[in-house]
Chain A
Amino acid sequence: MKYLLALILGILAGVALFAVGLTYNPFIGKPRLSPLTVTDLQTLSLSYSGVAADGILTTNDGESRVHPYPEKVLQLWEAAIRQTTASVKLLRDGRDQVAGLGIKFSSLSEATRLLQGKALVDSIWYVYLPGRGGMFIEQTENYWEYLREVAIPAYRSSADTWTGTWLGNITAGPGALGTARVTGGSGEFAGMETLGLESLSVRAWRVEGGPVAAEGNLLIELPRESADDLAPETLNTDEPEAEARATEE
C-alpha cells in the first residue's frame, strides 16, 4: 500500500514539476521587439475587437473555448477543419472610424512545440478597405506569452478570470524578424509586397469563453510609393519623424 501511495505522490509531484517547468521554462527567450514598431516608413494601423461577440462572425468546431457567434452559425466540425477558426471583423482606422472588412482563417500549427515556447497558429487575413483596395496577409502566430501570462493565471484564479493589461505581438513569422507577409491585391495596394504585424491587447479573460475585453491590431508597413498614394487619415503618423517627413514631402 505504501508503495502505491509513494508512486501516486511521485506521479503527482512529477506532473506538478513538469507544469511549473513548462510555464516558467528559463530556456525560452523573451519575444523580440518587432522591426515594424520602430520602422521609419509609414504604417497603416487597423484595429478590431478581440471579443467574438463584438465581431461580425466567428465559427469553429463548437467545442473550443471561444463560442461561435452568432449562435446558429454553421460549425467547422469536419475532421480537416476541426482545428480551424474563421472570423469576420469590422476594421477601424487610427481615428476609430470604420475602415473596412477583415476575414481571418486560422488553424493550429503542426510546428507547435510547447517545450520550446511555441504555441503556434498559422493564419491568413483578407483585408478589404473600401475605396482603397484589398490585401492578403500570411502569418504564423505564437500564443505562448499570451497563454503564460493571461490564460494560465485565469485557470489559477479562484474566479476562473484574469484581469489586467496584457499587450503583445502575436505575429512570429514567416518573416525572419517575426513579421507577416503582406501582398496587395487591388486598388492602391495592387502589386504591394510588404510586412505586417498583428498584436493583441487584453484586459479581461475568462476560462469559460476566452477574451472578455480585448482588442487586436494589424500594422502594415507601407512601401514609400503606396504611402504617397494613400489618404492621410489612414496613416499612422503619430511618430514625430513620420510627421516631419510627411510635411517635407
Chain B
Amino acid sequence: MFPVVDLHREVSLISVEPNGGNRETFHINLPVDRIMVGTAGQKTGLPPGLEWPQDDVMAGISAELFKLRNERDVVIGVAARTVAREAGSDVINWVLHLPARGSIFVNMEPDAKEGGHRIGRFRAGSKEFSTLSGFVAERWVPDRSGEEDAPAGRIELLATYVSTPEPLE
C-alpha cells in the first residue's frame, strides 16, 4: 500500500551461454568512475581530502570504490575492490551493488591468469543474486580509440551465472 520508493531500473543485458549459464558484462571507466582510492602511505588520496587511516593494523589494506556500468555504458551500481595481504598472498575481493537488483560478493584468485585476467568465485549474494552461483573474471582493457576525451581504459568484469563448476577462460 502506498509505495514511497521507486528505484530506477535499466534493462539487464544478459546473454545465454551455450552451456545454459548466463553471462553479463559490467565495466568501470577509469579514471572517471573512480570514487575512492585508499591505501596506506599514499601521498595524495582520492578524493582530495581523504584521510586514510595510518594505523599499523591498516598497513596491508587498500580499497577502491567505483561506479559500475553496464554494456550500454550506463551507470547501474557501485562497486568496491579491496586487496589485503594475508598469510603471504593477496586477498582480493569485489563487492558489486546494483540497487534495484541486489549485490554480489566475489572472492578473486590471488594470481592472474595468462593474458592478465583474474577469476573469482561468487561467495554470497543478495536479492536476485542470492540463489545464483558463478564466477567473475576481471581484466584491464586500455582505451585505443584515440579520442581526446576518452577514458584511459576500463576494468571489465565478466559475470557468469552458472551451476557448472568450471569458470569461463
Contact = CB atoms under 8 A, between A and B. Distances in A.
A110 B7 contact: yes
A201 interface: no
A130 B57 contact: yes
Interface residues of B, number: 55
A88 B38 contact: yes
A80 B100 CA distance: 8
Contacts, number: 177
Contact of B86 (A90, A103, A186): A186
B95 interface: yes
A117 interface: no
Nearest to A105: B97
B38 to A, nearest CB: 7
Interface stretch (B15-23, B121-129, B138-146, B153-161): B121-129
Contact of A187 (B80, B91, B126): B91
Interface in A84-105: 84, 86, 88, 90, 97-101, 103, 105
Given A108-B7, A183-B123, A72 B67 contact: no
B114 interface: no
Interface in B70-118: 74-78, 80, 82, 84, 86-87, 91, 93, 95, 97-100, 103, 105, 107
Given A78-B67, A84-B97, A98-B53, A186 B35 contact: no
Given A59-B35, A109-B5, A186 B47 contact: no
Contacts of B127: 122
Contacts of B100: 80, 110
A105 B95 contact: yes
A157 interface: no
A126 B95 contact: yes
Interface string A161-194: 0000000000000100000010101110000000
Contact of B67 (A70, A81, A116): A81
Interface residues of A, number: 51
Interface stretch (A3-11, A27-35, A133-141, A146-154): A133-141
Contacts of A105: 78, 80, 95, 97, 103
A133 B82 contact: no
A98 B7 contact: no
A46 B35 CA distance: 25
Contacts of A76: 67, 78
A57 B3 contact: no
A103 B65 contact: yes
A126 B82 contact: yes
A74 interface: yes
A134 B93 contact: yes
A107 B82 contact: no
B100 to A, nearest CB: 7
Interface of A: 56-57, 59, 70-74, 76, 78-84, 86, 88, 90, 97-101, 103, 105, 107-110, 112-116, 122, 124, 126, 128, 130-131, 133-134, 136, 138, 174, 181, 183, 185-187
28 contacts: A73-B50, A80-B9, A80-B10, A80-B75, A80-B76, A80-B98, A80-B99, A81-B67, A84-B99, A86-B78, A90-B53, A98-B57, A99-B57, A101-B58, A107-B7, A107-B99, A108-B5, A112-B4, A113-B1, A115-B1, A130-B57, A130-B60, A130-B61, A134-B84, A183-B124, A185-B91, A185-B93, A185-B124
